[in-house]
Amino acid sequence: MNIRRTGADAIASKGWLGAHQWLLARRLSQGAILTLFLLGPLAAVWIVKGNLAYSLTLDTLPLSDPYVLLQSLLAGNIPERLGLIGVLIVVAFYLLVGGRVYCAWICPVNPLTDLAAWLRRRIGIKGSAHVARNTRYWILAMTVVLAGLTGTIAWELVNPVSMLHRGLLFGLGAGWAVVLTVFLFDLFVMSRGWCGHLCPVGAFYSLLGKWSPLRVTASRRAACNDCMDCFEVCPEPQVIRPALKGADKGVGPVILAANCTNCGRCIDVCSEDVFTFGMRFKNTPENGAQASPQGAASSNWSTRET
């Protein structure tokens, strides 16, 4: 049996860098943001002060997490003027580029969950527990209700995203147990379990960027050869099919699902350059081609390395 690795065709046609350009850009973004936060505590170079909940850049630019602010308001706290300005800036940004860009390009937990997903493929772990993807929205609702009932931002006490970021800045302590649990859960229990099914932070940002204009689009979907690599690497694979395979149903090529993270991995691993970044407004079926007639998805899927 001829077993192939995910992305092998893209590497062969575009080279290793071409098949990882958006992944490398994301790691650069995540690393640069973390470095800016670390420069102050570690080197006394205070370009950015604070953390992901609230920061002040060059003592001028405030940035505030709207999810944290919402919980704070429900807990009965009135934010200061800079906090409100910071929220407006952040909300405007994610309304334009897509809320879950936060998950793929900023969140410090994302490299760990990506690593767990990669290890699952390399080790060949196939089984996965099942939890509905909309569970994260129920958890999101619970966190805001809890803030209102307790008068505290209770979720931030156990939020792996905040714990990891604060821990990298000030020492993680017992927070390593929470972060390690997320990693092991994704590796052995459920594929993409935390980010794709449970995390209320991602759920919140998906709602925030639901109508953002920047989208991934399957602009050359007629060229799809059904290798399934895009589904394999996508953290939210359910968002791909309508745009990629919906031509015969009159569905446009733009991925409109709010849970798309705009990570660009589908662009990286596609040897046929089916995907690109585009605008949600260019979404008539005529802009995309007809779905692939090859029908080879099942045979290719059965002979791949997972």
Q: Classify each residue of 70-96 as buried b or exposed e, where b means 16 or more C-beta atoms within 10 Å of its C-beta.
A: bbbebbeeebeeebeebbeebbebbee
The crossing angle, in degrees rounded to 10, of helices 81-97 and 200-208 is 80
Backbone φ and ψ for 277, nearest 5 degrees, come out as -85, 140
* 3-state secondary structure (DSSP) of residue 304: strand
Q: What is the pTM of this model?
A: 0.89
Which token pair is 216? 């991934």
- The pLDDT assigned to 102 comes to 97
Q: Report which of 79, 78, 75, 77 is spatially closest to residue 64, judged by C-alpha positions.
A: 79
Arithmetic mean of pLDDT, 122-146: 94
User: With 50 as the cut, is the pLDDT of residue 129 above it?
Assistant: yes
State the helix-helix crossing angle for 160-170 and 21-43, rounded to 10 degrees.
Answer: 50
pLDDT for residue 300 is more than 50: no
Report d(CA 115, CA 21) in Å as an integer: 17
pLDDT interval class at 119 (50, 70, 90): very high
Phi and psi angles of residue 155, each rounded to the nearest 5 degrees, phi first = -60, -35
Interval 46-55 mean pLDDT: 93
**Average pLDDT of span 14-25:** 97
pLDDT score at 3 = 60
Q: CB 127: neighbour CB atoms within 10 A? A: 9
- Lowest-pLDDT range, 45-49, 233-237, 301-305? 301-305
Work out the average pLDDT over 207-230. Answer: 95
Per-residue pLDDT averaged across 253-281, rounded?
96
- Separation between Cα atoms, residue 81 and residue 57, nearest integer Å: 16
Average pLDDT, the chain: 89
What is the helix, strand, coil percentage profile of the chain, to 5?
55, 5, 35
Residue 174 pLDDT greater than 90, yes or no: no
- Confidence band of 172 (pLDDT split at 50, 70, 90): low
Residue 129 contacts residue 117 (beta carbons within 8 Å):
no
**Across 175-204, average pLDDT:** 93
Work out the angle between the directed axes of helices 200-208 and 66-74 (0-180°, nearest 10): 100
Mean pLDDT of 88-106: 96
